[in-house]
Amino acid sequence: MPSYTRFLEEKQLENLRLYKYAAIDKSPISNYILKHYWNFAITLFPRTIAPNLITLIGLFFMVANVIIIGIYSPDLSTDAPNWINFCFAVGLWLYSTFDNVDGRQARRTGTSSPLGELFDHGCDAINCTYVALLQTAALGLGHSYSAAILLFTTIAGFYLSTAEEYYTGVLYLGYVNGPTEGIIVSCLAFLWSGIYGVASWHVRVVEVSWLHWTDSFLTGGTTFADLFVWGMALLFLVTHLPVCVYSISLACKEKGLDQFDVFHEVFSPIIKVLIFAFIWLTSSSTIIFKEKHFILFALYVGFLFGEMASDIILAHLTKSSFPRFFNMTFSLAMMTLLVSLNGFFSVNVVAEYNTLFILCGITVIHFMVRAVRVINAFCEFLNIRCLTIPASSSKQRDRALVPNSEAEQEAESLLISQEEGSSSLSSTSQQQYHTF
């Protein structure tokens, strides 16, 4: 029995041979502006560097920024030095650049594979938490409910996009989407904080002379930081969520699936996570906000979510059933229960910080170990390498960096990574996604 079957069934791995990437990016900014920038950026990378290594290096920029937060802005407040916000902007922009270059590198080196999509999306899932922490620090939100709203808005958005791709077979990015406009807005916010200071976000809107008219529908204490948080949440609720629901609904009709069952298995896990987190954070006995442990909480929940999103992608690639996530949400449910019980007894049932620290460490280690095992299984079955390019592949004829046909141009995506660059969509899918 091959060693890779210890982690994935033979049938699941055999389905990797049916893999074909399909994506649509409707953003005018990425199609008419950033595409040329990415096509130039790829020329700066040697052909000897593996696409997945490019993805990983990009993620390291974000990890470095989270470390900077831990050193210079552990309070996530306005007291941090302004220069760290320039680091946030540079790090996020480089991550986005590397995230878009890796797919082009895969095509020109002939190393496209389903592992690339899994690796890329896994990094993106973890990066959602990092982006939320950077936004929190740049806006000086502190350890607060506003920080939690940014975190869960970001991870819920990516979770739904991943679930949508599972059912539709297509990664769809709308005319306004997080990986393009969301990153640009975040980078501009970081630059603003670097130039004018984090405190500038805490100016009340009605105090600006030309915005006095907003007093009729905004409360007097509303700050620009509040507008940023509400704006992100509103964009998710108004643009992203309805599109995901509609797309999954159409996919159900096309495939003859029961919509109730599908929406239950998609929304049940993320709703449970949100409910558990809400109960935990609003508990009178929790110390997450009081003693400023939100960064640790965010990392714990973020890696739980990262494994959830990665499992959906893995199920998509191997054509497996939609994951249930019971084991992943169990620790969060138990922690929520124990923290809530602390409020009913004179003695703490659980030492919240110590337990959270241990759970976070276990979650991160489990995520990394499982990721390595699955990656090794992919590599062994497909006879490829993850972070290096074999000499035979590096000598292959260069492939075109930019798709030539109109269908291929439509399939270009910000989240491309080692995927088939010339994937085409069925006529039904094309009609479906032209709706938006």
Position 343 scores a pLDDT of 74
Whether this model's pTM surpasses 0.95: no
Taking the C-alpha atoms of residue 206 and residue 215, their distance in angstroms, rounded to an integer, is 6
Taking the C-alpha atoms of residue 247 and residue 161, their distance in angstroms, rounded to an integer, is 10
Judge contact between 171 and 321, C-beta under 8 A: no
Taking the C-alpha atoms of residue 276 and residue 126, their distance in angstroms, rounded to an integer, is 20
Position 5 scores a pLDDT of 60
Catalytic residue among 36, 121, 316, 366: 121
Taking the C-alpha atoms of residue 124 and residue 127, their distance in angstroms, rounded to an integer, is 5
Position 329 scores a pLDDT of 86
Whether 121 is catalytic? yes
Going from the C-alpha of 14 to that of each of 102, 197, 287, 372, 382, the distances in angstroms are 25, 54, 48, 19, 9
Domain-by-domain residue ranges, the chain? Answer: 3-433
Position 149 scores a pLDDT of 97
Cβ count near 330 (within 10 Å): 10
Q: For the chain, list residues with pLDDT below 50.
A: 395-436
Place of tokens 């973890």: 126
Q: 36-66, pLDDT tens digit by residue?
A: 999 999 999 999 999 999 999 999 999 999 9
